[in-house]
Amino acid sequence: MADYPVKDENYDLISSVYHASQGLHHTKQYAKDAEQFNDSEAAAFFQEAEKIYLELTDKAKALLKKRL
């Protein structure tokens, strides 16, 4: 583990849930923005990114649930 102010074996998982959730939130907005500009290619990209962020968030939460 790198030198972080918090020494916890689950810190990286918690941080991953947080950051993936942020990514999910932002890409949802980006997809809406692309749709408003009738940019279906960008909208499809951001919708795919949403799915990936959701999958990452769910996997990290499942790992945390088993450990806590």
Domain ranges (residues) in the chain? 11-67
- pLDDT confidence of residue 14: 92
Question: Residues 10-38: pLDDT tens digits?
Answer: 888 999 999 999 999 999 999 999 999 99
CA distances from 55 to 8, 18, 23 (A): 24, 13, 12
Count the neighbouring beta carbons within 10 Å of the beta carbon of residue 21.
16
Average pLDDT over residues 40-68: 95
Give percent of the chain with pLDDT exceeding 70.
90
Which pTM was predicted?
Answer: 0.81
